[in-house]
Amino acid sequence: MDIVGGGKMHVYPPSEQLPHEPGPEENWQESFVLIWYDLKQSVGGFFRLGHEPNAGRSQFMTNIFAPEGIFHRSSTLPLRPEDRRDNGLSNGDGSLGYEYDGRNIVWTVREPGIEARLVVDNWVPDINGFAPRDRAPGDRFHRDHVDAACGVRGTLTVKGRTYEVEALAVRDHGWGPRAWGGYLSHRWLLGTFDRDNSFLAVTRLTGDSPITRVGWVIRNGQAIYAEKIEVEAIILADAGTNRGGNLRMTLETGERFEAKFEPLVPCLASWVHGIICFDSMCRVRWGDRVGFGIFETTANLQAGTRRPEVLEPGTIWAEGWHPGVVRPV
């Protein structure tokens, strides 16, 4: 991949999409993420399948959005021997699965009233734009990490209705030590418009260094790093729920990139190892382009771990089925 700017980007071979042998660290984990939305049919999903083998557990998220309603599950289960195979992972009860057959990434979902089989079309190689792979091993957050745009095709059945899916999507794959709770706040924004145009922006506050800001635009197979990054998140009165926001980047070429995130569905709130994470699946506008993206935020300024009891009305928090179509306020 052609790189423009002062950043350093590592491109992994396709074989890295397979599960990795666990490291010795207690907090070693491997996770795969797929976030997708079919704008024409108003159906989408947010899947995370994480293994923490040295702790003997799987942390996972299964979220489905459809005209019939919203399904939300964010849970932790003990790992079983059959949950790790040479070519894939499952989540502890077989309801969520990831597989790479050497050519295609395939996700499967089996929950009450929900079945899905979705095939990922990799529009962007497996890239790590945060730092080279051989960085100092003390990095707690992104030792090996992939963020990339993609397409998704397949079938989703919800409450007896089957959708033939053709969606815009983003994917994420990370392996190595993960210090949950190490952030005081972060913003993670990914968006895609088509096979040739996508972007990423990340900000990270840890309290022991200046705010980390990393971003790039991928256009026609070329990655262009950002020199300046400004993220505006629309945060509601519970100090957590987000309603999307705005991204402005000045690229190393001198170009200005501006994207507006408009929520398509209610914000997701997921509780993971003492941290609450908020995700809004959004329509993204960049000039006259319209695409799909994710606007993720956390805020843990007191470095606490108390589980919140009160969130904005309409935020999807309780696990289980949420019937009916609920639009963001």
Question: What digits encode the pLDDT tens for the residues 152-207?
Answer: 999 999 999 999 999 999 999 999 998 877 778 899 999 999 999 999 999 988 76
Distances in Å between the alpha carbon of 103 and those of 122, 212, 276? 10, 35, 35
d(C-alpha 207, C-alpha 54), whole Å = 28
pLDDT band at 136 (very low <50, low <70, confident <90, very high): very low
Q: Does residue 231 sit within a domain?
A: yes
Q: Is residue 318 part of a domain?
A: no
* pTM above threshold 0.85: yes
The pLDDT value given to residue 137: 47
217 membership: H or E segment, kind and range: strand 212-219
Indicate if the pLDDT at residue 295 is higher than 70: yes
Least confident stretch, 28-37, 104-113, 270-279? 270-279
Average pLDDT, the chain: 90
Which residues on adjacent β-strands are paired with residue 176? 29
The pLDDT value given to residue 328: 61
Per-residue pLDDT at 138 exceeds 50? no
Q: Which of 144-148, 244-248, 316-320 has the lowest mean pLDDT?
A: 316-320
Q: Is 268 helix (H, G, I), strand (E, B) or coil?
A: strand
pLDDT for 327 equals: 65
Instruction: Give the 3-state secondary structure of residue 12.
Output: coil
Which two three-digit tokens encode residue 272? 């993971």
* CATH number of the structural domain spanning residue 166: 2.40.370.10
In a domain, 129, yes or no: yes
Could you tell me if residue 198 is inside a domain?
Answer: yes
Higher-confidence residue: 120 or 129? Answer: 120
243-274 residue pLDDT tens: 999 999 999 999 999 999 999 999 999 988 88
Work out the percent of the chain whose per-residue pLDDT is above 70: 90
Domain extent, residue 207, equals: 2-304
**Residue 312 placed within a domain:** no
pLDDT band, residue 141 (cuts 50/70/90): low
Residue 325 belongs to a domain: no
Q: Can you tell me whether residue 220 is helix, strand or coil?
A: coil
Domain annotation covers residue 22: yes
316 part of a folded domain = no
Residue with tokens 């629309």: 234
Number of domains in the chain: 1
Q: How large a percentage of the chain has pLDDT more than 90?
A: 74
Task: Read off the pLDDT of residues 206-231 as tens digits, 9 standing for 90 and up.
Answer: 766 778 899 999 999 899 999 999 99
